Amino acid sequence: TLADGLKNPSGVAVDGSGNVFFADQGSNTVTEILAAGGYTMVKRLGTVFNGPWGVAVDGSGNVYVSDYSNQVIRLITASGNVSTYAGSPGHAGYGDGANAFFNFPTGIALDSMGNLYVADSQNQLIRKIAPGGNVSTVAGSYFVAGSVDANGLAAQFNTPQGVTVD
């Protein structure tokens, strides 16, 4: 059964058809639970995922995964192909643009324009990945853990874990 195989489930997302997707950090998998019942593995790629954390699904059936220990955001296309969407596998860091790095990304969420927001936990930031792959910092002070209510880069977070959009 599904419950027998869970080792540390985390991020959850639901697509337009009611199918549920979740990341399981302990088994390094992303699982899809079909709305009609039963479940299937979207991909079981222990050599690709290393502590998948957050999950988001777009209107085309593409699944985005924050691959926590690999320091990247992965994309699983509707046809099942897995690729690196943003970041550099195995390289923690910081930087905006098309060649940005992440430092243990956790929660992720998509907005209606296709922008993906990422809680970049160890960088203490909230980041945005535009549909073309350009990464920018939305809020937080790079590598400064704190608790300051402010706008944009003046805000401070202490290991942000989740993010959502309305």
Residue 67: strand, helix, or coil: strand
**Nearest to 139, CA basis, from 148, 130, 131:** 148
| Reported pTM | 0.92
Q: What is the pLDDT, as a whole number, of residue 7?
A: 86
Q: Is the pLDDT of residue 94 over 80?
A: yes
Q: What is the pLDDT, as a whole number, of residue 36?
A: 79
Distance between CA atoms of residues 112 and 154, nearest Å: 26
Q: What is the mean pLDDT of residues 88-113?
A: 96
The tens digit of pLDDT for each residue in 117-159 reads 999 999 999 999 999 899 999 999 999 999 999 999 999 999 9
Q: What is the pLDDT, as a whole number, of residue 47?
A: 64
Distance between CA atoms of residues 30 and 28, nearest Å: 7
HSE-up of residue 154 (Cα within 13 Å, Cβ side): 3
The tens digit of pLDDT for each residue in 44-92 reads 555 689 999 999 999 999 999 999 999 999 999 988 889 999 999 999 9
Between 94 and 1, name the one with better pLDDT: 94
Q: What is the pLDDT, as a whole number, of residue 142?
A: 94
**Nearest to 12, CA basis, from 53, 43, 50, 73:** 53
The tens digit of pLDDT for each residue in 8-32 reads 889 999 999 888 898 999 889 898 8
User: Residue holding tokens 């195989």?
Assistant: 5
Mean pLDDT of the residues in the chain: 91
